[in-house]
Structure 1
Amino acid sequence: MVVDDSAIARGIVTRTLDGEEGIEVVSSVPNGLMALKAIGNHEVDVVVLDIEMPELDGLAALPRLLELRPGVKVIMVSSASQRDADISLKTMTMGAADYVAKPKAGLGGAESFRAELVSKVREHGARDAKTVPARPAPAAVPAPSPPRKLARKLARPEVIAIGSSTGGPQALAEVLRDIDSRLTQPIMVTQHMPATFTGLLAEHMTRYSGRSATEARDGEPLKPGHIYIAPGGKHMLVERRAAGGTIIRLDDGPPENSCKPAVDPMLRSLAKNFKERLLVVILTGMGCDGLKGAEAAIEEGGRVLAQDRASSVVWGMPGAVAQAGICEEILPLQLIGPAIFRIAGGEAK
């Protein structure tokens, strides 16, 4: 489905996509209201959604489209610059799968824009060959297992690992802002996000947290108190050096849980290298990425916290670890930052 108030832009996007083998535009409409009406009448895998439109703009239509057709992939399109972190990260926070910026000169001769859009429609459409039916009957969700009781002596964590997805940018901002400034451990974050946005996310987290946050680079050492964001399109791992110290390794292996970067590879690598001195935090997100990595952390003696259902945008990832019974605590978002400092900021218990 293509949604854009400009008839010219809508026509160019529609013809571009319809001309590609394996892609069919089933609906082309001029605003968000018409998109909401049309999405129930068509099988839609991907929505290309303009942001600035009359009657109902893309920002207002996005959450309603996701509610009407859970699992649909929404690619936001706007005339705003790709470096506009506020707009781009807001849409990603709200559940958009991706974002493409319209060139200032218009779409007519913009081959790079059209190539990028086709590539992203293929990528996101291929992740789910079968469209999720609209308005599915709610499934019963088992209650989470009680928090894990730990009888062993607990080591003070040397590194904090955070995994997040849908709703993650907003949750990350709150958690990182609420961690006491005296915390000295490096913080490693894998947020499901395309390459265009992980650098913007790092800029955003620097502003919100008061700490230095950067997109991780291959070979750089872990520094106290620094926040490392896994770059889009790469898994973020760590490696212990024989001469001492730990460095970041970026891995170009296949996606895991349909994600790249994925949380599981990061957690497995950290568990192997830090063992009982690892604290894992799983925040809001769809799916179960992070579950196997958290289990690996527990096997090595690490500790796991999860966000609770009520404060999560989607309780998939934190719900998976909660229901597996491997969480030490299941907490509302506003208590996670203080809990991190309580566990990692004090002496070993």
Structure 2
Amino acid sequence: MSVALVNPSIPTSSRPEPLRVMVVDDSVVIRGLISRWIGAESDMVVAASLRTGLDAVNQLERVNPDVAVLDIEMPELDGLSALPQLLGKKRDLVIIMASTLTRRNAEISFKALSLGAADYIPKPESTREPGAAEIFHHDLIQKIRHLGARLRRNKPAMPSPPLAPATPALDRKREMPVRATPAPPPLTRRSFGMLVPRVLLIGSSTGGPQALMTLVADLGRVIDRVPVLITQHMPPTFTTILAEHLARASGRPAHEAVDGEAVRPGTIYLAPGGRHMRVVRHGVDAAIALDDGPPINFCKPAVDPMFVSAIDVWQGGILSLILTGMGSDGMRGGKEIVAAGGSVIAQDEATSVVWGMPGAAANAGICAAVLPLNQIAPKLVRLFSGDRS
């Protein structure tokens, strides 16, 4: 058994303690690589480096991690079997599943999400692939940081001692009263577009698969009326599985989009992993256009190309939805949709796994509504039936 532990330290200042990360992988190369990356960050620390899921379960109380990066295929106890045991011992543990890009592992990753994993990350087939290690590095650190930050926001704060109603605090250098930090201004809301929308565009990232399953289960009437195009930040193979899950959840046809195919009502089109999905005019109809260009907003597929391209086809008849996810992808395309007369809805912070993408849109003032996940489908049904409020 290979074990490395870092004991929890006692806070000595008001600065937040680094996130404690437990790395669980039977590959000494991967463990070492991930541990070095984490060790180079100032806001996180390797709490333990372990070889098997059984080691992780047995060491959990001692290690007390905030986040666990959990491999799927390991001896003694694999990641999927270790997952419920870890969450049974520490309910708020953030678990990120790591796996290679095989269909079997993609299926297992989706299963892990349903069992309580916070997210997944694909491991490159080889860390020597050009650019593969860099993408893995960037995505993993961002997921640890953002998912760990959400964990800390959701933890109840320690009660502060009561403050005496004394005179205003003074700045010792200037002997002037210290002003309280002003509250952030309320989010600007726009009116919905005047046209009944003719297409639904959805962008999502971290936490997106779970949100999409919930959403499409109640969107049957909308899907029957208009085409639904989805860009989820996800690699190849994973998007194949996601499309199958969306078809089952919605009871409607759903598949990875094919270059050149016509876009019709009654179908869900999912951007395939590793390719941007755009829409182009094809006579009087719309058609899918896939391209293998460079990543946009560090993503491929990216949401912005889909949003912007749709304007040439549907002008102001677009309703776009930005769900949970890291970064700001979709915000720039959403601005152009609004300028063309369309509308943007964002998922709210409370129900988002990460309020990066929807938060960027909301804070940019382009949203007609910012809603919890369970209110989005009913709102969409009303909007596509002609309600403009």
Picking from 115, 121, 135, the partner of 1:123 is 135
Conservation of the 8 A alpha-carbon contact between 1:92 and 1:166: no
Distance apart, 1:239 and its partner CA? 0.7
The answer to whether residue 235 in structure 2 is matched with residue 214 in structure 1 is: no
Mapping of 1:81-120 within 5 angstroms?
A: 82-83=103-104, 87-91=108-112, 94-99=117-122, 115-116=125-126, 119=129
Conservation of the 8 A alpha-carbon contact between 1:192 and 1:262: yes
Name 2:311's counterpart in structure 1.
Answer: 271
Distance 1:170 1:63, change over 3 A: farther
* C-alpha distance in structure 2 between counterparts of 1:273 and 1:54, whole Å: 45
Distance 1:257 1:144, change over 3 A: farther
Deviations 1:142-162 (A, max 9, x none): 465142135x7x111111100
Distance 1:248 1:76, change over 3 A: same
Distance apart, 1:291 and its partner CA? 0.7
Unpaired runs of at least 5, structure 2: 1-21, 40-45, 154-180
Distance 1:232 1:38, change over 3 A: farther
Unpaired runs of at least 5, structure 1: 5-9, 101-113
Secondary structure (helix, strand or coil) at the match of 2:298 reads coil
* C-alpha distance in structure 2 between counterparts of 1:23 and 1:348, whole Å: 49
* C-alpha distance in structure 2 between counterparts of 1:257 and 1:165, whole Å: 12
Amino acid at match of 2:257: A
Mapping of 1:22-37 within 5 angstroms?
A: 27-31=49-53, 32-33=56-57, 34=59
* C-alpha distance in structure 2 between counterparts of 1:303 and 1:250, whole Å: 24
* C-alpha distance in structure 2 between counterparts of 1:259 and 1:64, whole Å: 35
- Using structure 1 for the length normalisation, give the TM-score: 0.75
Conservation of the 8 A alpha-carbon contact between 1:285 and 1:317: yes
The answer to whether residue 364 in structure 2 is matched with residue 324 in structure 1 is: yes
Distance 1:324 1:18, change over 3 A: closer
Distance 1:23 1:176, change over 3 A: closer
Name 1:296's counterpart in structure 2.
Answer: 336
- Greater C-alpha Rg: 2
* C-alpha distance in structure 2 between counterparts of 1:146 and 1:56, whole Å: 46
The answer to whether residue 298 in structure 2 is matched with residue 247 in structure 1 is: no
Distance apart, 1:135 and its partner CA? 6.8
Amino acid at match of 2:340: E
Name 1:192's counterpart in structure 2.
Answer: 233
Secondary structure (helix, strand or coil) at the match of 1:236 reads strand
Higher relative contact order (CA 8 A, sep 6+): 1
Secondary structure (helix, strand or coil) at the match of 2:237 reads helix
Name 1:57's counterpart in structure 2.
Answer: 82
Query: Which deviates more from structure 2 when the two are superposed, residues 309-318 or residues 87-96?
Result: 87-96
Conservation of the 8 A alpha-carbon contact between 1:85 and 1:204: no
Conservation of the 8 A alpha-carbon contact between 1:73 and 1:125: no
Distance 1:134 1:237, change over 3 A: closer
Name 2:165's counterpart in structure 1.
Answer: none
Computed over aligned residues only, the root mean square deviation of the Cα atoms, in angstroms, reads: 4.1
Deviations 1:144-200 (A, max 9, x none): 5142135x7x11111110011111111111111112436410000011111121010
Conservation of the 8 A alpha-carbon contact between 2:231 and 2:270: yes
Provide the identity percentage.
39
Secondary structure (helix, strand or coil) at the match of 2:320 reads strand
Secondary structure (helix, strand or coil) at the match of 1:195 reads coil
Query: Which deviates more from structure 2 when the two are superposed, residues 116-125 or residues 250-259?
Result: 116-125
Name 1:109's counterpart in structure 2.
Answer: none
Amino acid at match of 1:82: R
Conservation of the 8 A alpha-carbon contact between 2:201 and 2:229: yes
Name 2:376's counterpart in structure 1.
Answer: 336
Name 1:103's counterpart in structure 2.
Answer: none
* C-alpha distance in structure 1 between counterparts of 2:306 and 2:79, whole Å: 43
Secondary structure (helix, strand or coil) at the match of 2:289 reads strand
* C-alpha distance in structure 1 between counterparts of 2:235 and 2:88, whole Å: 19
Deviations 1:3-30 (A, max 9, x none): 24xxxxx2xx2157769xx989983433
* C-alpha distance in structure 2 between counterparts of 1:344 and 1:158, whole Å: 8
Amino acid at match of 1:216: A
Conservation of the 8 A alpha-carbon contact between 1:83 and 1:200: no
- Using structure 2 for the length normalisation, give the TM-score: 0.68
* C-alpha distance in structure 2 between counterparts of 1:339 and 1:121, whole Å: 42
Distance 1:121 1:167, change over 3 A: same
Paired residues, what number?
Answer: 318
Distance 1:157 1:37, change over 3 A: farther
* C-alpha distance in structure 1 between counterparts of 2:60 and 2:290, whole Å: 39
Conservation of the 8 A alpha-carbon contact between 2:97 and 2:109: no
Conservation of the 8 A alpha-carbon contact between 2:147 and 2:353: no
Query: Which deviates more from structure 2 when the two are superposed, residues 89-98 or residues 214-223?
Result: 89-98
* C-alpha distance in structure 2 between counterparts of 1:49 and 1:189, whole Å: 28
The answer to whether residue 208 in structure 2 is matched with residue 168 in structure 1 is: yes
Amino acid at match of 1:248: I
